[in-house]
Amino acid sequence: MSVIKQEEEYFRYLQIERQFSKHTQSVYRRTLRQFKDWKGKEFVSWESCQSEDMRDWLYQSAKEELSSATIRLRFSALRSFYRFLSKRHGLKKNPMIGISLPKKNTNLPVFLTEKQMLELLELPYQISPPANAPAWLPYRDAAILELFYSSGMRLSELVALNVGSIDYHLQGVRVIGKGRKERVLPVGIPALAALEKYVEMAGLAVSEPLFVSRIGTRLSGRAVQYMLNKYVDLSSIPFSISPHKLRHTFATHILDAGADLRSVQELLGHSSLSTTQIYTHVTRARMAEIYKKTHPRA
């Protein structure tokens, strides 16, 4: 089988069987192309590659001062691809076996304080919208911010919502997460009120996208980030904010309030508890900081 057919079969496998997101598929596809470009004319086939090639590329990646996360992602893509070739095409020698990767950095998540979060939630109501903007626009923005903070959902999950995804009676929202796994997230009263007001003002039907642009199309992730940047620039928050940082804020605040780690794992849709455990480092770091500031003999 040709190189191109092997790769296309692999990406169909990622899409249909593994149900990887389009973003992940794109990253993996780019990784395979980058490796072939690095090998240049020496690249003959995937079967002909050796462990030494993988180590050399790892060394080259480090020389380019790429982050350990980027290097790990590159090799996760290659490792996944070679496992596929071994299982589906009987590849006898996997060059990824025995390759050790740089340790994963454990940078603590950045999050907002409760005061900063409350300031951000109020801004859509305080800023005058553009003259040509629909009347519902500030209410849409407020509903987005409230929903992020109330549920901790991912950006991809939020923009995929339809009006019918919200259950006002059960006070929850149905989302489709990574791997097409469905979960129902509880939503607080302020967020539900903001959503109900926005949907009513925008005149949206149950089957329509929940968050829409001025012309009525489904809002993109890029547009949500642009909106968030606009409000952060108008706030007293001294650093940039992404939807993922709002997710960090949600998790940190409910842990601080006494939520257990397993519950937070389910709410965030993490497949592994180890992914959620980074938030315990955040709360410990905060406790240590408070201790140093307040204890007379710290």
Question: Which residues have a catalytic role annotated?
Answer: 154, 178, 244, 247, 270, 279
Nearest by Cα to 224 from 160, 132, 290: 160
In sequence order, which residues have a C-beta less than 8 Å from that of residue 85 and are 6 or more positions away?
Answer: 6, 10, 46, 47, 91, 94
Query: What is the DSSP code string of 101-159?
Result: -PPPP-PPPP---HHHHHHHHHHHHHSPPPTTS-TTHHHHHHHHHHHHHHH---HHHHH
C-alpha angle 97-99-100 in degrees, rounded to nearest 5: 135
Tell the residue number behind the tokens 């097409």, with chain if given. Answer: 180
C-alpha angle 135-138-144 in degrees, rounded to nearest 5: 130
Instruction: Report phi then psi at 13, rounded to 5.
Output: -60, -45
